[in-house]
Structure 1
Amino acid sequence: MGRIASTLARLSSGPDATPRTIPELRTGDAPQIPAEAVRQVIRARRLRNRFFKEDLFADPAWDMLLDLLQAEIAQLRVPVSSLCIAAAVPATTALRWLKTMTDQGIFRRRADPHDGRRVFVELSPEASLAMRQYFAEVGPVGTV
């Protein structure tokens, strides 16, 4: 979990705690990732639970990143409650991670214009680009 926290911190800031400079997004900058590739990674992560204790692989930040990338590719909005379920940890833990990642600029929260009680979560443009570049660099193997 510490490794993921470090990676997330690097997404939002450099080693000297100054904001990280990420090139401005332009059309075509982000690699196109097939939705099926992300779905396969999510399925493979859940399959581990059939063979090992579920808490052994608790990695809510990565699970949330994967879920939001999959939703972005499918052009779906993800409510906070669904993202907490995708994290596969207790809701309080998922909400804590959601706050951390929002505070670091990795996630963006958007109010539902039709229902004031609901909030949607999405990847920031920088996080989306980072996830897409990650998938493009590691390819279909090794993204679990």
Structure 2
Amino acid sequence: MASASAGDELIDVIVRLPRKAVEESLLSAAAAGGTIADLRLGEAKAILAGRRRRTRCFSGARFLDPSWDMILELYVAQGEHRDIAVSQLCSLSGASMTTALRHIEQLEAVGYIERIPDPADRRRANVSMLPRLRNAAEEWLDLQIASSRATG
């Protein structure tokens, strides 16, 4: 708040939308072209692209939220019917390998993801998003889509 000029106050606004408004927003958007699944996938891709642009624009700054990046990457991969290996997910997280592995272990411990042996190469393991995480991600993406339509 110290950066606000005299007399100016910053007000944080939390947008809370009724579930019905979220559903109506998603249904109307889907009716305009595309499915709700397509809207969610597009939103997740846009968020990831924005995070990458931010990293490129602020050279030297570290914006790390490995678990969130992993969740979005897994959501997009699942929507595109692609497998993601543990090593690939670590790399996509932007964190060091050891930090990324700790985040994978934590997501696994709370029942959000599972590691599955790669059928083509048993030395590797793929990471799969479990329904609990997919449902949470879809709920969050629905709120993002509805919020952006309400404000934009």
TM-score (normalizing by structure 1): 0.71
Identity %: 30
In the alignment, residue 136 of structure 1 is paired with which amino acid? D
Q: Identify the residue that residue 112 of structure 2 maps to in structure 1.
A: 106
Cα RMSD after superposing both structures? 1.6
Contact 2:43/2:145, CA 8 A, preserved across alignment: no
Q: Identify the residue that residue 40 of structure 1 maps to in structure 2.
A: 46
Q: Give the number of equivalent residue pairs.
A: 110
**Structure 1 residue 50: Cα displacement:** 2.7
How does 1:1-144 map onto structure 2 within 5 Å? 32-34=37-39, 35-52=41-58, 53-55=60-62, 57-139=63-145, 141=148
Q: Which 4+ residue blocks in structure 1 deviate beyond 6 angstroms?
A: none
**Structure 1 residue 138: Cα displacement:** 1.6
Structure 2 unmatched runs, 5+? 1-35
String of CA shifts for 1:84-106, please: whole Å, max 9, x gaps: 11100111110111111111111
**Structure 1 residue 33: Cα displacement:** 4.5
Deviates more, 1:67-76 or 1:106-115: 106-115
**Structure 1 residue 36: Cα displacement:** 2.5
- Which protein, 1 or 2, shows the higher relative CO under an 8 Å CA cutoff with sep ≥ 6? 1
**Structure 1 residue 122: Cα displacement:** 1.2
Contact 1:33/1:135, CA 8 A, preserved across alignment: no
**Structure 1 residue 116: Cα displacement:** 1.2
Structure 1 unmatched runs, 5+? 1-30
Contact 2:85/2:126, CA 8 A, preserved across alignment: yes
String of CA shifts for 1:7-30, please: whole Å, max 9, x gaps: xxxxxxxxxxxxxxxxxxxxxxxx
**In structure 2, distance between residues paired with 1:85 and 1:70:** 15
**In structure 1, distance between residues paired with 2:43 and 2:55:** 20
